[in-house]
Structure 1
Amino acid sequence: MAASRTPATADPPRRIAVAYSAGRDSTALLHATATAAVGQGVEVLALHVHHGLSPHADDWLLHAQRQCARWVKQGLPVRLCAHRLARRPAVGESVEAWARRERYRALREMALQEGASVVLLAHHQRDQAETFMLQALRGAGVAGLAGMPPVAERDGVRWERPWLQRPRSAIEAYVRQHRLRFVDDDSNDQARFARNRLRLEVWPSLAAAFPQADASLADAATWAAQATEALAELAAIDLAEVADAEGLKLSAWRALSPPRQVNALRAWLLREGGALPGSTLLQRLQAELPGTGDARWEWPQGVLHRHRGRLTHQRAAHTADAEPETSLRILKAGRYPLPRWGGVLVAVRVREGGVHSAWLAQLELRPRTGGEQFMAGIGRPARSLKKQYQAADVPAWERDGPLVYSGGQLVFVPGLGIDARVQALPGQPQLGLRWERG
C-alpha cells in the first residue's frame, strides 16, 4: 500500500518533496528517491509546476500524472502535486528570470501546504559548471562564481541538491538502466536563452578540448563558495570594529587594507540595503569616501551619506497611496511601526530626560509645516526647528519622520528628541523616544 494511503489512525508519514519537471534529470531523481523511500514510512511528493509557456505544457503534466500512477502501482510511495501559474511575464521582463522566480515560489507553496520541509532539486555537475561559466561571463564576483549551493535554507524550506557532484553521464546511465520515460523541453533548443547558447554552441567544443571541464569548473565553484564564506567571516570581524548602529566609521574603515575595505563595505551595504551593491558603486565609494565634507551617493536601496566622519544609509522612501498615520497610543516600552511614515517609533524606559507616560496615551502625528517651536533644554528658549536642527548639526536626511504632539503640545521631534517642556520630573516613571528610519 502506498504511504499516501496510510490509515488516519496511524502517525502521518514523513514527507520529502522532489521538484519534478518530468524531464530526464528530475525523473531520475524522483524515481531514485521514491525507490529509497520504500518501506521507510516516507511519502515522496512530486512537485510539478505548469508554467503555461509551452504549447506542450498540458502534455507534460499528463505524462507526469501517468508516470506517477504507474509507479504507485509498482509500490513506490510517490504522489504528484501540480500547480498552474496564473501570472505571465511582464512586458520586457526576462522569461528565464520570471520562470525561475515563479517556479521556486510555486514549489515552496506546494511543499509547505503538503507539510514537506525539504525539497530535492536535480541539478548535477554539468549544471553547476554551466552556472559558473555564465556567472564568469557576466563579470560576477566570488559570491556569484560560487554557483548553486548543495543545501540552502530559505523561507521555511530546505532546498537540497544531492546530485550536484554527480556527472551527467551517471544520470543518463541510471535512466537507461531503469528504462525511465521522460519529456524533452523544446525550449532547450532555443538559442535566445543564454544557458541554451552555452550548451548548444560552446559546450561541445569546450568538452572536446577539455574533457574534464565539467568536473574542473564545478570544483572551481566549490572553491569560490568556500572563499565566499571566509570573506563573510572576515567582514563580520572587520564590521565589529568599523561599524555601529550609527553607520560606518570612516576613519576606522580607512585603516583597513584596500581589499578588506571593499569586502567590509560590500558586507555593510548588503546588511543595510538587503542587496549586493554593483561593482560601479563599490568602485566609486572606495575612491570617493576618503574625501572630506558632506557627500551623497544614490543606489536602488536608498541614499548613502557621508557626514561627520560616518557613512550612513537612508532607505528608499516608502510610497503608499494612503495618508500617513495621524494618531498613536504608547502605553509601554516597545516598538511602534509607522509604515506609511517609513519607520518605527521606539519607546524605551529611562531614568531621566524622558516624558511621563501620561503624555503618551493619545498622540497626534503631524508633518512639518513651518513655524514649529522646540525647547532643547529646561530654561532655554524655544526656537524654530530649523534653527534647532542647525545648532545640533542634524543633516537634512535625519529630519524625516512625524512630529509627535499630545494635547496640542509638541512632545518629540526626530533628530532632536524630547521637548524640554514635557520632560518628566526626577523619580517619575518615564519613557524615552527615538525614531528609526526604514
Structure 2
Amino acid sequence: MAASATPRTGKAVAVAFSGGLDSTALLHATARAAEGTRVVALHVHHGLQPQANDWAAHCERVARECAAGFACTRLSGAPGRGDSIEAWAREGRHLALHDMAIAAGADLLLLAHHRQDQAETFLLQAMRGAGTAGLSGMPRAQWRDGLCWARPWLDRPRELIRAYAQQHALSWIEDPSNADARYARNRLRQTLWPAFPAAEAGLAQAARWAQQVEALAAEVAAEDLARLSTPERLDLVALAGLSPARASNALRAWLAPHTVAPTSLVERLLTEWQPGSTLSWPAPGGELHAYRDGLYWAAEALRPPPPAILDLRRPGLHPQPGWGGAWLVEPASRGIAADRLVQLTQRSRAGGERFQRAPASVPRSLKKASQEAGLPPWRRAGPLLFDAQERLIAVAGLGLDARAFADQDEPQLSLRWLEDSALTQSEGEGGTAA
C-alpha cells in the first residue's frame, strides 16, 4: 500500500502524524516509497490529554524508525467559553501543520483521511443542510498558501489500512477521546457503521458526485459572470433573467471573493430587489448595495486616515494605505501640471467642497457631482486632494477638477483613483506620504 502523491518541487514530503493507526501507516508507506526524497513527520501537541507528552515522544521515536525527520508544535491557549473544542483544535492544527511544512522545505503535505472519513463528512454536512460545496467533503488535493494538502488514501477503506499496519507490525496510539460520544463523528462511528456497514462506500460515492456537481456549477457560474459582471458590479437585471437556480449559483460565485454569504442573504437578494430600487444588505465583513440596477460590495468602512502630504509628480501607481485604493498618475494630453502635484494634501470631505466636472460646466456640490457621475453613495467618502493653496485638485471616483487643468503648452499628467479591487499585483508602486 503506497502513498501515490509526489511533491511538486521534490524538496521534501511532509506527513501529518498524530501517531494513530491511519497516520502511522501513511508515514510508513511514504517513507518506503520516498526513493531518495526527504520525508518529515509533523506532530501537533494539542495539550488536551494527559498522555500528550508521551504521544509526542512516541511519534518522534516512530519517525526515527521510519528514517523520517520530525517536527512538533504545541498549541498555545485554549478554547474560549462556549467555543467548540473540535473547531479550536482543527484551526490550530491546520495552522501549525502549514507552518511546520513550510519550515521543513516541503510543498506537499500528506493527510491520512480515508473513505470512512469522507463518508462521515458527507453525512455530517448533510445533517447541517449543506449545499454541494459542503457535501463534496474533503478534496483529494488542494493548494493553499504555497502548500499542497493531499489525501492519497481518500478512496481506501480503513480495513485495508489496518491490514497494512498489522502486516508490518506497526505500533500506534489509541486516543481515548475517539470513544467520547459527545463528539458527533464519534457517535456516527459507534452507531451508524455497525448498523449499516455497507453505507460507507455509498456515502463516499455521493461525495464524489457532489464534487462533480460543484465543479459543473463553478463552470456555469464562470460563463454567466463573464457576461453579467465585473469584479466591482453585478448586473441585477441580467441576473434576474436567469432561471432561479442559475441566478442563485451565479450570485454565490460573485459573492465568494467578498464574503461567506448565508443562504438567507442570497434568498433575500434575489427576492427583495426590484428594477430601479436602491437597497442595502449587511453581510459578514461589509455590506451589499443595489444601486442603478447593479450590485456592489463594500467592505466594512474604517475610520478615514488623518490628512497626509503627498508628492504625486512621478507617473505610476501611488497606493494609499487606509483608503482602500491608489492614485494612478500618467502622462496626458489634458491634465494637470506636474509642479502642482509636488505638495498635495489628502484628506476626507469636510463639507462645502465644490467640484467642476468640465471647463464649461458649473461647479457643483460633491453630492450633486457624485450623483451626476453615478458614483454610489458608499464610495463618496474620498479621499480628496488639495494643492498648496488649498484648491481642490481631484476627488476619488470623480477625477480631476476642471479648474486644475493646465495650459495646453505645459507638460501634463492625469490623475485617477483606483479601488483596491481594481488593482493587480503586477502594477508597480510609488508615491510618498509625509
Say yes or no: TM over 0.5. Answer: yes
2:115/2:154 contact within 8 Å kept: yes
Is it true that 1:360 corresponds to 2:355 in the alignment? Answer: no
Is it true that 1:247 corresponds to 2:242 in the alignment? Answer: no
| Residues 91, 360 of structure 1: alpha-carbon distance in 2 compared, 3 angstrom cutoff | farther
1:382-401 aligned within 5 A: 382-401=363-382
The equivalent of 1:4 in structure 2 is: none
The equivalent of 2:264 in structure 1 is: 280
The equivalent of 1:304 in structure 2 is: 288
Identity of aligned residues (%): 46
The equivalent of 1:431 in structure 2 is: 414
The equivalent of 1:349 in structure 2 is: 330
2:316/2:330 contact within 8 Å kept: no
Which segments of 5 or more consecutive residues in structure 1 lack a partner in the other structure? 1-11
For 1:255 and 1:368, how far apart are their aligned partners in 2? 39
Is it true that 1:45 corresponds to 2:43 in the alignment? Answer: no
CA drift of 1:13 comes to 8.2
| Residues 16, 345 of structure 1: alpha-carbon distance in 2 compared, 3 angstrom cutoff | same
**Letter of the aligned partner of 1:410 in structure 2?**
L
Q: Which SS does the other structure have where 2:256 is aligned?
A: helix
* TM-score w.r.t. length of structure 1: 0.88
The equivalent of 2:54 in structure 1 is: 59
| Residues 324, 232 of structure 1: alpha-carbon distance in 2 compared, 3 angstrom cutoff | farther
Please give the per-residue CA displacement for 1:363-420, whole angstroms capped at 9, x wherever unaligned: 2111212122222221433333233334445332120232112212211112322111
Q: Which SS does the other structure have where 1:244 is aligned?
A: coil
* TM-score w.r.t. length of structure 2: 0.89
The equivalent of 2:28 in structure 1 is: 31
1:28-427 aligned within 5 A: 28-37=25-34, 40-69=35-64, 71=65, 76-207=66-197, 211=198, 213-271=199-257, 273=258, 275-318=259-302, 323-324=305-306, 326-341=308-323, 343-349=324-330, 351-407=332-388, 408-426=390-408
For 1:47 and 1:113, how far apart are their aligned partners in 2? 11
**Letter of the aligned partner of 2:170 in structure 1?**
L
1:295/1:307 contact within 8 Å kept: yes
The equivalent of 1:5 in structure 2 is: none
CA drift of 1:245 comes to 4.5
Moved more, 386-395 or 301-310: 386-395
CA drift of 1:172 comes to 0.8
For 1:51 and 1:245, how far apart are their aligned partners in 2? 41
Moved more, 118-127 or 390-399: 390-399
Q: Which SS does the other structure have where 1:351 is aligned?
A: strand
For 1:425 and 1:251, how far apart are their aligned partners in 2? 44
CA drift of 1:204 comes to 2.4
Question: In angstroms, what is the RMSD of aligned CA positions?
Answer: 2.2
For 2:275 and 2:101, how far apart are their aligned partners in 1? 52
CA drift of 1:359 comes to 2.6
For 1:189 and 1:325, how far apart are their aligned partners in 2? 60
2:311/2:343 contact within 8 Å kept: yes
For 1:13 and 1:237, how far apart are their aligned partners in 2? 36
For 1:98 and 1:331, how far apart are their aligned partners in 2? 50
Please give the per-residue CA displacement for 1:198-231, whole angstroms capped at 9, x wherever unaligned: 2223332232xxx2x1111111111111111111
Choose which of 2, 12, 15 in structure 2 pairs with 1:15: 12
Moved more, 100-109 or 12-21: 12-21
1:151/1:158 contact within 8 Å kept: yes
**Letter of the aligned partner of 2:59 in structure 1?**
A
| Residues 25, 413 of structure 1: alpha-carbon distance in 2 compared, 3 angstrom cutoff | same
For 1:437 and 1:399, how far apart are their aligned partners in 2? 15
**Letter of the aligned partner of 1:347 in structure 2?**
L
The number of equivalent residue pairs is: 411
For 1:332 and 1:224, how far apart are their aligned partners in 2? 53
Moved more, 254-263 or 148-157: 254-263
